[in-house]
């Protein structure tokens, strides 16, 4: 497939899955618009990829109410045509919901859901007007079930799932495809930033960011509705849909509760 004349815009491109998606698209010779808050990291990636494709770097904070619209306006002002939108930017929080900072939860929903919706509507409308384009929404395997100790994060990703798969139906016949990627635990900075501890049982399901990016980009170009990387993650996604919801919630809560117990105190005898 020969690349279009338009750009691929990747949010959250400074690290993790977003960075690897950018590399994967550059290998396919798609010019890039890289978006994140950390401009120094974006510049380093631009230098790395500039010998393959044209790369534009834009600093944006999508956790603010005005961030997504400002990004869209910036892209339009530069005269850049976006044919691929990768909504990867996201954040997580772990802990008991009643003890969370509500302002931080609100910012997480702004980033994970509302900014994603804004960018999808703005760039998606432009794609429909031109008769073609691709949208890749990065959700999470947590979208498939209520997850105690990550309840707000899981709810935000469930919103991405419901919105994106319904939008795909609305866009039938427009030439614009919507693909939703559901990564499980991935080797990124995400868990460290979210202060997340995961059950040891899930260590066998961990995939690299590069592997997840390859799966997601490939699925996007094939026009797939959804993709869950890794057979263990696919099995978990399937079981979460067929088992009793109360049972699957209890199992997830029990595992996460054990994973987040404080470490035992080191008592030394003299």
The 10 Å Cβ neighbour count of residue 204 is: 9
Is residue 2 included in any domain, yes or no?
no
Q: Cα dihedral sign for 117, 120, 123, 127?
A: negative
Rg (CA), the chain: 19
- For tokens 């890039």, what's the residue? 32
Instruction: Please report which helix (H) or strand (E) contains residue 26, including its range.
Output: helix 16-27
Angle, helices 151-170 vs 102-109, to 10°: value is 20
Is residue 269 included in any domain, yes or no?
no
User: Token pair for residue 113?
Assistant: 């859901």
User: Token pair for residue 227?
Assistant: 């993709």
Which residues does 49 contact at the CB level (< 8 Å), separation at least 6?
22, 23, 26, 32, 55
Predicted confidence at residue 237, as pLDDT, reads: 62
**Residues making up the chain, counted from first to last:** 270
Is residue 32 included in any domain, yes or no?
yes
Q: Cα(267)–Cα(270) distance, rounded to whole angstroms?
A: 10
The CATH number linked to 25 is: 3.40.50.720
Is residue 183 included in any domain, yes or no?
yes
Phi, psi of 86 (to 5 degrees): -115, 105
Residues 145/248, Cβ–Cβ less than 8 Å: yes
Which residues does 107 contact at the CB level (< 8 Å), separation at least 6?
63, 64, 91
The 10 Å Cβ neighbour count of residue 1 is: 6
**Per-residue pLDDT tens digits of the chain, which is 270 residues long:** 444 579 999 999 999 999 999 999 999 999 999 999 999 999 999 999 999 999 999 999 999 999 999 999 999 999 999 999 999 999 999 999 999 999 999 999 999 999 999 999 999 999 999 999 999 999 999 998 878 888 999 999 999 999 999 999 999 999 999 999 999 886 655 455 445 555 454 544 578 999 999 999 999 999 999 999 866 665 666 566 665 566 666 666 546 666 665 544 443 332
The SS3 assignment for 186 reads strand
User: For the CA atoms of 94, 95, 101, 103, what is the dihedral angle to 10 degrees?
Assistant: 30
Predicted confidence at residue 250, as pLDDT, reads: 60
Cβ-based burial of 68 (10 A; exposed 0-12, middle 13-18, buried ≥19) = buried
Is residue 120 included in any domain, yes or no?
yes
Is residue 21 included in any domain, yes or no?
yes
Q: Cα(195)–Cα(175) distance, rounded to whole angstroms?
A: 40
30 flagged as catalytic: no
Q: Cα(42)–Cα(55) distance, rounded to whole angstroms?
A: 10
Among 37, 57, 58, residue whose Cα is nearest residue 47: 57
Given the residues 7, 30, 153, 182, the one annotated as active site: 153
Could you tell me the CA-to-CA distances from 94 to 9, 59, 128, 148, 258 in Å, in that order? 29, 27, 38, 9, 13
Is residue 268 included in any domain, yes or no?
no
Is residue 215 included in any domain, yes or no?
yes
Can you give the residue range of the structural domain that contains 173?
7-259
Q: Cα(170)–Cα(23) distance, rounded to whole angstroms?
A: 30
Give the chain's domain count.
Answer: 1
């Amino acid at each position: 497939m020969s690349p279009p004349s338009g750009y691929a815009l990747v949010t959250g491109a400074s690290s993790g899955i977003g960075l690897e998606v950018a590399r994967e698209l550059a290998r396919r010779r798609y010019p890039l618009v890289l978006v994140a808050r950390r401009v120094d990291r974006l510049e380093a990636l631009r230098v790395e990829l500039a010998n393959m494709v044209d790369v534009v770097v834009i600093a944006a904070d999508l956790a603010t109410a005005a961030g997504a619209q400002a990004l869209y306006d910036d892209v339009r002002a530069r005269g850049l045509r976006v044919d691929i939108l990768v909504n990867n930017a996201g954040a997580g929080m772990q802990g008991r919901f009643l003890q969370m900072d509500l302002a931080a939860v609100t910012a997480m929903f702004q980033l994970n859901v509302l900014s994603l919706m804004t960018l999808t509507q703005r760039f998606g409308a432009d794609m429909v007007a031109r008769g073609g384009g691709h949208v890749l929404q990065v959700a999470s395997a947590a979208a498939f079930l209520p997850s105690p100790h990550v309840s707000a994060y899981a709810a935000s990703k469930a919103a991405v799932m419901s919105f994106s798969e319904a939008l795909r139906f609305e866009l039938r016949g427009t030439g614009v495809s919507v693909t939703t990627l559901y990564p499980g635990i991935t080797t990124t900075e995400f868990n460290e930033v979210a202060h997340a501890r995961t059950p040891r049982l899930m260590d066998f399901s961990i995939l690299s960011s590069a592997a997840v990016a390859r799966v997601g980009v490939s699925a996007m170009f094939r026009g797939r509705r959804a993709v869950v990387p890794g057979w263990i993650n696919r099995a978990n996604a399937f079981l979460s849909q067929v088992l009793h919801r109360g049972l699957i919630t209890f199992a997830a809560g029990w595992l996460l509760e054990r994973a987040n117990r404080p470490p035992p105190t080191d008592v030394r005898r003299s």
